[in-house]
Structure 1
Amino acid sequence: MRSLATKNPEQVDHLRKLAAAHFAPEFLRAALQRLSKLRGEEELAKFEREMIELVEGADGEDEADFPLLKEFAIEQLYQVIREAKESPDTKQRLEDIAKRRTSGRSEDSKTLEEQLQSGLEDSFPASDPPAVVSSTISGGKQGGKK
């Protein structure tokens, strides 16, 4: 392994930038995957808004292409956020069950059991019996020679 002690300050700075360019996207991707798994899409959206504000507020007067760097940074952010959202491990927001409940629905387990039993009895039999179907294959050999 080479030592940084043999490098001059410009070489060290160049290596530092290369390391950031190479590994930072992977660090971000892994962190966002973990965030999406633990906190879900709402937290990803919050993170996205905060990072866009950070990038847009950054000042790079000494860099001529700084506006393009910002544009590429936001593009890269959108990509890793999208990947994190599409991950099967992303925590999904729980649905508010109160919104789905029928008004007047009982919370008593005995009443619910009675309603279920009544519904099952009312729907018996659950389906019509299967129909007996026969088929013939046309074009078969007809007996006898002409």
Structure 2
Amino acid sequence: MQVVGTQVTPIGGGKAGFTVEFVGDGGEVVSVQLKNDAERSLNRQNAIEKAKELMGQIASSTAPEGETMSVRLSARASHDRLTLEEQLDEGLEDTFPASDPVSVTGTTIKH
């Protein structure tokens, strides 16, 4: 798989951690969810490197000491509509208030 893009999504505004998605040239998506530590040392800049490190450990079949590995389909892959809606709501909350207010235009038609 040739990685053609990455996306870093904060969990709980980044306080809880980040999800890093690696997008392949064939449309594959590998998602790594990283939990933040008590010092909140994980950030948007170092999340990609930490995700790559974790994937390397997984590829060599060694989990970090005291941790277990599990596999589950992403909400997108499993078509979990409820989780997708929750993720959308969380993303909207994390970006509120936006720099540009919502623009509403009303029209009236006289009969």
TM value normalised by structure 1:
0.18
Higher relative contact order (CA 8 A, sep 6+): 1
Higher normalized helix content (fraction of residues): 1
Higher normalized strand content (fraction of residues): 2
